[in-house]
């Protein structure tokens, strides 16, 4: 078993009590995840809690995947059957809500950008003026506000849109949480509740929440209902709360803190920091306005309740610099990476973190010019944000749902019109079919009480409230989908590639509006789309291999592709960290929960605005050994370092410290210093570093030869 501290053991050994709360305050680098893992091990091996009685959830797929991966390692090391890990319930909050709803209702739609764009087509012209909705984001906000204040908001247009969403089982993420709560409110013995819903009431005894500071108010009803009557164990740090734009974390924490009686609530703290050097922690403590304990290095027997740093000083303090523009900042970053790589660092040791994706994109273009390998860390793959891929998925949904309708498969209440939303979304993306036509069709379907697909395929053309040219365009739409639907091919196809080819073929035959999609005639756009198709195909193959018997591949993929994509994405990102290594690019939000030996923290074009304290704290505490801060504006920061110092290259004590910390062989940089400097100077010459950014235009990818 790993070497654990007294404060960690106190959490692990705290006994199981039903209807009780253990709140663990755990700062960055305190061994929170390790403590959570061993707490689970202790519950199973000592407290005799069955694996299937334990529920773990967090807010992000990245965190959940990390927990599962580490649990597998812990149980393997403990010589306990690894299969028990798969019996533990481990979900994101939204993943759990999604499963609850799908188990009770079947396939649902979580609305995304292309869906909101489709809904805008149903708005009367007066409602789409710049005064009302300049973008789908504004419509999204109005619908959300309407749902929150339904009794106070008399807007018949928005009311109709919400009615359509309800009839078609189209949900926002907030709707998903509310709908899941509704099913949990059913009595555990209620026959209408799914077995999974009943298990949440009856089976689970312990609920562990990772990163409680990331929870936001709209999650409270669901989470409190799941946790009530069980032992709640939550880990987190309020100083790392960086999702304030979703609502105050204090609201939900107040409810969780009061979930069980005070005499059944225990607050514990992990006092130690294993990750960062005392120099980095000192700066982080200053930012968060919390004094660092005088006693920094302790024995494992010491139980002093104070902030304790487990690592010895490195002798190198964080460098804080201000630059006039992106050019100067980028040249500094490249120059410093050159120094580090010419010493003992690897590309994979380095991360560049920023507040915004746009700034990271600008930095990525510079790294690419120099041939520096980099990898963007994202919460989900790019293909899921591609409107063209979203369109393919909606076409597939139309085929699946309309086929169910055609072949009289069993529907739950309201399901008979579920295809309407995907049809409206895909049809609104067709060239030449305007808003008025979409609205007229939708109104006509309502008068005949028919789904859109049945109206288009059963009602004679002369009854359509549309002009001849519009009818032909709609007929072209239905005829392209008809073969798969009429012959029920969609549910008979089990080959992922054959299915993708058929859906892509349908899409190619449709005349799509160029305002919806980037032109595939553009070489870069075409290559990007091809890459995204390949990535989607990989997920489809994974989905096929995981498909249980008794369900068609299409239904399985449509119901599970998001979760399976997240798992596959995280596994692919893990693989990319091996080999020659890459510099990691990430927003501060996406880097939360990660650590890197060397961090460049940049603020880019936002340098005129103060950095949020908690976000800055999170960014600083991602660094283990070296921290460079560029254009970080904050009241407790002072820029003081010389940006072009080369002292790091000759600092033998630091590089000895660095390699020991990373469990690497220690090399004496005094011996190699001359060679390292020579290599560094050659690289600078090749790069054209003369404090003149214009030279970057002719730079060479010399890093590929290092």
Task: List binding-site positions.
Answer: 26-33
Contact 495, 482 (CB under 8 A): no
Binding residues for ATP: 26-33
* Closest C-alpha to 653, from 671, 672, 669, 677: 669
Phi then psi for residue 21, to 5 deg, are -130, 135
The per-type count for the chain, helices as H runs and strands as E runs, is 27, 16
Residue 603 region by backbone torsions, left for phi larger than 0, else alpha for psi between -120 and 50, else beta: alpha
Using DSSP, state whether 302 is helix, strand or coil.
Answer: coil
SS3 per-residue string spanning 188-204: CCCCCCCHHHHHHHHCC
Cα distance between residue 356 and residue 162, in whole Å: 33
Tokens of 552: 């068609």
d(CA 101, CA 524): 39
d(CA 102, CA 195): 12
Residue with tokens 């072949």: 407
Distance of CA 64 to the CA centre of its chain: 11
Burial of 131 (0-12, 13-18, 19+ CB in 10 A): exposed
Angle at 132 between CA 131 and CA 137, to 5 degrees: 120
- Rg (the chain; Cα; Å): 28
Length of the chain: 706
Where residue 254 falls (left for φ over 0; alpha for ψ -120 to 50; beta otherwise) is: alpha
Nearest-angstrom CA–CA distance, 673 and 651: 10
Residues 6+ positions from 440 with CB-CB distance below 8 Å: 465, 466
How far apart CA 649 and CA 636 sit, in angstroms, is 29
Q: How far apart are CA 138 and CA 116, in angstroms?
A: 10
Q: How far apart are CA 574 and CA 518, in angstroms?
A: 31
Backbone angles phi, psi at 25, to 5 degrees: -85, 115
State the DSSP code for 301: T
Residue 542 neighbours by CB under 8 Å, 6+ apart: 564, 568
- CA dist list (Å): 692 to 398, 681, 689, 698: 56, 16, 7, 12
Residue 658, phi then psi, degrees to nearest 5: -60, -50
Positive or negative: CA dihedral 22, 27, 31, 33: positive
Which residue is it, tokens 């409110």? 185
């Amino acid at each position: 078993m790993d070497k654990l501290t007294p404060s960690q053991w106190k959490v692990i050994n705290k006994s199981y009590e039903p209807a009780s709360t253990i709140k663990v305050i755990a700062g960055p680098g305190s061994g929170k995840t390790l403590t959570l893992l061993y707490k689970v091990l202790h519950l199973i091996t000592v407290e005799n809690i069955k694996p299937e009685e334990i529920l773990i959830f967090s807010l992000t797929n990245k965190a959940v995947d990390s927990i599962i991966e580490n649990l597998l390692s812990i149980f393997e090391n403990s010589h306990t059957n690894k299969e028990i890990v798969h019996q533990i319930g481990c979900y994101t909050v939204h993943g759990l809500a999604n499963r609850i709803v799908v188990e009770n209702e079947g396939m649902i739609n979580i609305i995304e950008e292309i869906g909101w764009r489709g809904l805008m087509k149903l708005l009367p012209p007066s409602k789409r003026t710049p005064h009302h909705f300049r973008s789908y984001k504004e419509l999204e906000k109005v619908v959300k506000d309407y749902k929150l204040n339904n009794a106070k908001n008399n807007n018949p247009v928005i009311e109709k849109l919400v009615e359509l969403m309800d009839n078609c089982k189209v949900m926002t993420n907030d709707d998903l949480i509310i709908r899941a709560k509704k099913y949990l409110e059913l009595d555990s013995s209620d026959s209408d509740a799914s077995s999974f819903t009943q298990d949440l009431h009856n089976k689970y005894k312990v609920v562990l929440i990772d990163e409680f500071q990331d929870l936001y108010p709209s999650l409270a009803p669901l989470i409190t209902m799941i946790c009530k009557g069980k032992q709640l164990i939550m880990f987190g740090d309020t100083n790392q709360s960086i999702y304030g734009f979703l609502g105050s974390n204090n609201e939900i924490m107040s409810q969780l803190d009061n979930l069980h009686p005070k005499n059944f609530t225990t607050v514990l703290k992990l006092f130690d920091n294993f990750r960062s050097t005392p120099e980095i922690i000192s700066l982080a403590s200053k930012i968060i306005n919390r004094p660092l304990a005088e006693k920094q290095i302790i024995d494992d027997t010491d139980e002093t309740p104070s902030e304790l740093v487990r690592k010895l000083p490195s002798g190198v303090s964080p460098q804080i610099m201000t630059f006039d523009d992106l050019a100067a900042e980028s040249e500094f970053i490249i120059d410093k990476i050159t120094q580090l790589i010419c010493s003992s660092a690897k590309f994979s040791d380095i991360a560049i973190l920023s507040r915004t994706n746009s700034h990271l994109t600008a930095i990525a273009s510079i790294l690419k010019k120099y041939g520096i390998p980099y990898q963007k860390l994202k919460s989900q793959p790019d293909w899921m944000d591609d409107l063209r891929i979203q369109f393919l998925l909606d076409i597939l949904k139309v085929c699946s749902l309309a086929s169910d309708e055609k072949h009289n498969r069993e529907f739950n209440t309201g399901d008979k019109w579920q295809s309407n939303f995907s049809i409206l979304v895909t049809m609104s993306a067709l060239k030449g079919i305007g808003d008025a036509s979409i609205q007229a069709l939708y109104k006509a379907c309502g008068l005949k009480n028919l789904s859109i697909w049945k109206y288009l395929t059963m009602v004679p053309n002369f009854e359509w409230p549309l002009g001849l040219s519009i009818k032909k365009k709609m007929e072209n739409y239905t005829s392209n989908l008809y073969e798969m639907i009429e012959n029920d091919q969609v549910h008979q196809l089990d080959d992922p590639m054959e299915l993708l080819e058929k859906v892509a073929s349908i899409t190619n035959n449709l005349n799509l509006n160029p305002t919806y999609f980037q032109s595939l005639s553009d070489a870069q756009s075409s290559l990007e789309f091809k890459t995204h198709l390949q990535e989607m195909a990989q997920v489809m193959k994974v989905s096929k291999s995981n498909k249980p018997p008794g369900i068609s591949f299409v239904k399985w993929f449509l119901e599970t592709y998001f979760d399976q994509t997240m798992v596959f994405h995280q596994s692919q990102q893990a693989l990319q960290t091996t080999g020659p290594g890459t510099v990691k690019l990430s927003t501060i939000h996406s880097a939360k929960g990660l650590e890197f030996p060397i961090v460049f923290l940049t603020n880019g074009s936002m340098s005129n605005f103060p950095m949020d304290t908690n976000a800055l704290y999170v960014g600083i505490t991602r660094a283990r050994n070296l921290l460079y801060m560029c254009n970080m504006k904050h009241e407790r920061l002072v820029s003081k370092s010389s940006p072009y110092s080369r002292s790091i290259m000759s600092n033998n004590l630091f590089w000895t410290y660095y390699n020991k910390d990373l469990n690497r062989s220690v090399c004496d940089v005094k011996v190699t210093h001359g060679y390292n400097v020579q290599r560094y100077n050659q690289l600078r010459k090749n790069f054209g570093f003369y404090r003149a950014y214009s030279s970057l235009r002719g730079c060479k990818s010399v890093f590929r030869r290092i």
